[in-house]
């Protein structure tokens, strides 16, 4: 990158900070937030999607006893289960699709 390119880039940055966005494209990129899955989070999710412990177990592919253990803080979801639970938190409608898989 040449000196003139760096100086031009700095000028564009200065102009942007001063309110001139005519030479830039601003893109908002949401950063993923890692969800802590504890008993309260899992119970809340289950109520949001309107299912029982057995129903959530079926959606995630674990036993009802596993969901019971999660909801009593005796154990935590493994990585695969956390991924599915995160998707369900982000989009509750996925519960309908997962029922048929």
Count of Cβ atoms closer than 10 Å to residue 74 Cβ: 11
List pLDDT tens digits, range 12-22. 999 999 999 88
Has residue 68 got a pLDDT over 90?
yes
Task: Give the pLDDT band (50/70/90) at residue 34.
Answer: confident
Q: Which domains does the chain have, with CATH numbers?
A: 1-26 (no CATH), 39-98 (1.10.260.40)
Alpha-carbon distance of 89 to 87, in angstroms, equals: 5
Q: At what angle do helices 79-90 and 53-60 cross, to 10 degrees?
A: 110
Alpha-carbon distance of 91 to 80, in angstroms, equals: 17
Q: Which residue, chain included where needed, has tokens 């991924």?
A: 83
What global pTM score does this model have? 0.68
> For position 48, what pLDDT does the model report?
95
């Amino acid at each position: 990158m040449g000196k003139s390119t760096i100086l031009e880039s700095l000028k564009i940055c200065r102009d942007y900070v001063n309110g001139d966005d005519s030479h830039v494209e601003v893109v908002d990129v949401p950063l993923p937030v890692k969800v802590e899955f504890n008993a309260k989070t899992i119970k809340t999710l289950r109520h949001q999607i309107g299912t029982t412990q057995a129903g959530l177990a079926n959606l995630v592919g674990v036993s009802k006893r596993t969901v019971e253990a999660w909801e009593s803080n005796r154990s935590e979801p493994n990585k695969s289960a956390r991924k599915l639970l995160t998707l369900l938190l982000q989009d509750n409608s996925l519960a309908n699709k997962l029922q048929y898989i």
